[in-house]
A and B are shown apart, each in its own frame.
Chain A
């Protein structure tokens, strides 16, 4: 049963990740490839506050989200000028830069050795020690953030993002503050994935930079593209598929050295098949162009 709970917790964390990335890609048409970096900023900020300063669970999570939101300026400001492939290059550069900082700023992050001894989530005097209690806590947070995302989609903010995604020039010409919208979308999405990073750190109790590399960003991107964008159920579907796929491959009993490569092959194959057969994803409404 613990195994199922473990998968559920991962699904809840990645549901938040995929929903936040969907705000950028699905609603705003902004192809972000540095999402894992902001996931890492949230995780590291919260973990440092918990382990070094003894902060409580929620304050640490909130400051982690804030740090990720503020540092999203690294991608949102270039997004004013760069579009399409050029923007993707910028976001890869930001991903690499933040990863390098996490890896090399050893005084703060402990470099490749990471941060260990992160305590489990807690509220007041209660600590969520059992896996099932973490499932409940993370489930509540994921549903809450999912509702916020769904609500924003139907709000005037979501409508403005959609207009910007459909036609940047036309959006500007009818008075939409496109540059401000980009700042807001990146800040919101980064803060949200920062929360997911904090949840991840608190659950696994140990983090190191390898969990926040470009590969992780590509996994997040795959979730959104395979599941689909433009609505809430698409990213959730993608998160479920890409969490369950490696678990399904486990039952093939492949040697460890082969399993990782087979998993990457399966991701690649899925992406190619989706591009050809269902470009809007399994459950999405918007076809990214």
Chain B
């Protein structure tokens, strides 16, 4: 029985503003489940009832021809697009979130964050600032708190800084922490963007073509790091990638999007990092 099976499918989903609902029977790992997602643009049906089931620690490859709706699916799951039909829920650590009711920034805080195909680092900020900007529940983001609770803000910032440097170190970018976000190669930028995702604390990472533009060696290294992250942090990853050969070896699931429907294959022989 899957972890998710212990949750009733008729369980009420928390309304907007109180979207996080404390429940008893929820899995320890994050669990993302979508059912019947459908969307059409100008009469053209892109997704026709997509079902998805992903648990913490799993890596899923999402593949399909150009224009089949892979990025559209990521846009829906990250809150940037509302589907015409379907449901999506995220369960983690005693909470259950209705994904489709949330805004992207709240979803990142509640557990789903995404890597953009075009990376989108903050170009005028340093690598470290890029990662720090994604820190969750920052006290000093409120200007009044920043001005009048300086001690607490400083202590929290120190902790965020240490965490950000750990993520950068894990991804081999700690020595570039002071570099400007617009002075990095494509591969380095992707590593920083992944460190930024990890800093959000999200349990489900949606990665849109993380290997695009990388040479073979960099791609292998990144795949290895992603695998290690999934194993050690129990984060779930949904990866859109055209370079199937490079990534399949570490995937648990292969999802193929075709004619608006998702076909799922469980993969054997995953290479474990530890």
Contact = CB atoms under 8 A, between A and B. Distances in A.
A and B are interacting partners:
yes
Contacts of B196: 174
B16 interface: no
B138 interface: yes
Contact of A159 (B104, B113, B116, B129): B129
Interface residues of A, number: 28
Contact of B134 (A152, A169, A174, A184): A174
Interface residues of B, number: 37
A167 B120 contact: yes
A59 interface: no
A163 B104 contact: no
B200 interface: yes
B11 to A, nearest CB: 26
Given A152-B143, A155-B140, A174-B200, A169 B105 contact: no
Nearest to B140: A156
A49 interface: no
Given A157-B141, A157-B143, A160-B133, A174 B113 contact: yes
A175 B141 contact: no
A177 interface: yes
A170 B140 contact: no
A148 interface: yes
B146 A155 contact: yes
Contacts, number: 103
Nearest to A23: B143
B147 interface: yes
A176 B105 contact: yes
Interface string B90-106: 00000000000001111
B123 interface: yes
Contacts of B141: 156-157, 160, 176-177, 181
B186 to A, nearest CB: 16
Nearest to B202: A175
A156 B212 CA distance: 32
Given A163-B122, A175-B113, A157 B142 contact: yes
B211 interface: no
A162 B122 CA distance: 8
Contacts of A174: 105, 108, 113, 133-134, 196-197, 199-200
B25 interface: no
Given A167-B120, A173-B116, A156 B147 contact: no
A165 B146 CA distance: 19
A68 B114 CA distance: 38
B133 A163 contact: yes
Contacts of A152: 143, 146-147
Nearest to A176: B105
Interface of A: 148, 151-152, 155-157, 159-160, 162-163, 165-167, 169-178, 181, 184, 188, 230, 286
5 contacts: A155-B146, A156-B132, A157-B143, A166-B125, A173-B120
Interface of B: 78, 80, 103-106, 108-109, 113-114, 116, 120-125, 129, 132-136, 138-143, 146-147, 153, 157, 196-197, 199-200
